[in-house]
Amino acid sequence: MQNAENFWDKIAAKYAKSPIADMDAYTYTLERTRSYLSPEDSVLEVGCGTGSTALLLAGDVRQITASDLSGNMIEAGSEKARDQGISNVKFVRAELFGSAIDNGPYDAVFALNVLHLLEDTPAAIGRINGLLKPGGTFISKTVCLQGSGAPFKFRIIKMILPLMQLIGKAPYVNFMKITELEEIISSGGFKIIETGNFPASPPSRYIVARKM
């Protein structure tokens, strides 16, 4: 099985061209995220991909450090920033636990569609907590498990995922229950202040939490 960096490097070009699956859900959570930001904020995004969200929120904050372990994703994001004339988003090739991420502290940290791709979620939450200022905001969105009513396509993906991972066609994925995810975040030193599923099926859990 190939490592995560190689996988995301290989699909970066395709990923950059892929349309957002549920634009209504994306737009809603983007606006909810924007409501927690202020013009003086310094923000870190973990797993930024090609930087679409960071660039959309750049006008609402002082600075965003957009990090991703894929160099190809970072290159694509940096090019978009140049094309759009956005100078307050700094793209950094970095793994969450690596030294390339400045320790901050940050006013807010985003982990959007990334927690289920990490092998040690509790450790990731602990690291994020350490990067935030006291009272700082942690905003995440995570694909979670759904019961027997899950869409057929989602159930098929879960069935064939191990084979796809074996041949290098899929990354590591940890489908957590919503209750499990929220317990990890709460136990990691956060108070959850807003939640919702956007989209609802399969649930992509949107969570806003404050560092205690």
Structure confidence by residue, pLDDT tens digits, 66-96: 999 999 999 999 999 999 999 999 999 999 9
Mean pLDDT score of the chain: 91
Confidence bin at 4 (pLDDT 50/70/90): confident
Query: Residue 134: which region, alpha, beta or left (left: phi > 0; alpha: psi -120 to 50)?
Result: beta
Are β-strands 89-93 and 132-143 bridged in parallel, bridged antiparallel, or unpaired?
Answer: unpaired
pLDDT tens, residue by residue, 47-74: 999 999 999 999 999 999 999 999 999 9
Contacts of 127 (CB under 8 A, 6+ apart): 96, 97
DSSP 116: G
Q: What is the pLDDT of residue 171?
A: 78
> CATH fold of 4-211, please?
Rossmann fold (3.40.50)
- Round to the nearest angstrom and report the end-to-end CA distance of the chain: 38
Say what the pLDDT of residue 1 is.
38
Whole-number pLDDT of residue 146 = 65
Instruction: Examine residue 199 and say whether the peptide bond preceding it is cis (omega within 30 degrees of 0).
Output: yes
Any idea where the domains of the chain sit in the sequence?
4-211
The structure tokens listed for 205 are: 């859990």
Mean pLDDT: which of 9-18, 20-29, 158-167 is highest?
20-29
Pairing of strands 204-211, 132-143: antiparallel
Q: Phi first, then psi: what are they for 179, rounded to 5°?
A: -60, -35
User: How far apart are alpha carbons 115 and 143 in whole angstroms?
Assistant: 8
Q: Which pLDDT band, with edges at 50, 70 and 90, does 148 fall under? A: low
Burial grade of 157 (CB within 10 A; 0-12, 13-18, 19 or more): middle
